[in-house]
């Protein structure tokens, strides 16, 4: 795996592992309970993050079969990603695109979703390791709000997306 990509993936994975570690002494019943009507529980947030990462891994896996038809990314993609990252820092919620990820179930088993998320991360790492050099700067990933970006930008998006939801998780835990 390229050094920069490995660093980005390691940061993403270490962020996830640290959050899971911080939650280990909280009863799963609290992690599975919605903080208020219409708001996601911690396990539902994890379901959403896992689903986004799983779909991303599948999408990039399919795109690698057609790498010759992909364009290289440039400044335009970098600006669009920076704008999206800025939006993640706003104090109000941004709705997830239901048409892309589907609905989040009303009840999500915390233990099952963390196990599934572990598997998704292994698949993502395996995919990253297997990518050929000529694919790294091509627009292999399609983010619904900003369009196509490269694999490094995809990892930056995943980190920003995780960080946004980590704050949400921390607020839920703080209030319970």
The mean of the pLDDT values for the chain is 90
CATH code at 97?
1.20.120.450
Is residue 103 pLDDT above 80, yes or no? yes
pLDDT band at 96 (very low <50, low <70, confident <90, very high): low
User: What is the pLDDT, as a whole number, of residue 95?
Assistant: 65
* Tally of structural domains, the chain: 1
Distance (Å, whole) CA 43 – CA 108: 6
The DSSP code for 14 is H
Which domain does 44 fall in, by range?
Answer: 3-175
Opening angle at CA 67, ends 63 and 71, nearest 5? 100
Give the DSSP letter string of 86-149. Answer: HHTTSSS-----HHHH-PPPS---HHHHHHHHHHHHHHHHHHHHH--GGGTTB--EEETTTEEE
For a pLDDT cut of 70, what percent of the chain falls above it? 93
- pLDDT tens-digit map of 141-165: 998 888 899 999 999 999 999 999 9
Is residue 92 pLDDT above 70, yes or no? no
Is residue 99 pLDDT above 70, yes or no? no
List b or e across 93-119, with b for residues whose CB sees 16 or more CB atoms inside 10 angstroms. eeebeeeeeeebeeebebeebbebbee
- pLDDT tens-digit map of 5-50: 999 999 999 999 999 999 999 999 999 999 999 899 999 999 999 9
């Amino acid at each position: 795996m390229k050094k920069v990509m490995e660093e980005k993936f390691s940061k993403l994975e270490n962020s996830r592992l640290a959050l899971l570690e911080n939650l280990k002494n909280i009863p799963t019943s609290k992690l599975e309970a919605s903080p208020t009507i219409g708001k996601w529980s911690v396990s539902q947030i994890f379901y959403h993050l896992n689903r986004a990462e799983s779909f991303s891994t599948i999408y990039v896996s399919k795109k690698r079969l057609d790498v010759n038809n992909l364009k290289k990314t440039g400044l335009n993609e970098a600006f669009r990603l920076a704008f999206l990252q800025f939006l993640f820092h706003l104090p109000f919620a941004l709705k997830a695109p239901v048409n892309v990820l589907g609905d989040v179930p009303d009840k999500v088993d915390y233990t099952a979703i963390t196990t599934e998320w572990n598997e998704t991360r292994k698949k993502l790492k395996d995919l990253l390791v297997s990518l050929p050099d000529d694919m790294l700067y091509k627009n292999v990933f399609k983010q619904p709000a900003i369009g196509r970006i490269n694999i490094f930008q995809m990892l930056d998006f995943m980190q920003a997306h995780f960080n946004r939801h980590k704050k949400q998780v921390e607020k839920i835990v703080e209030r319970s």
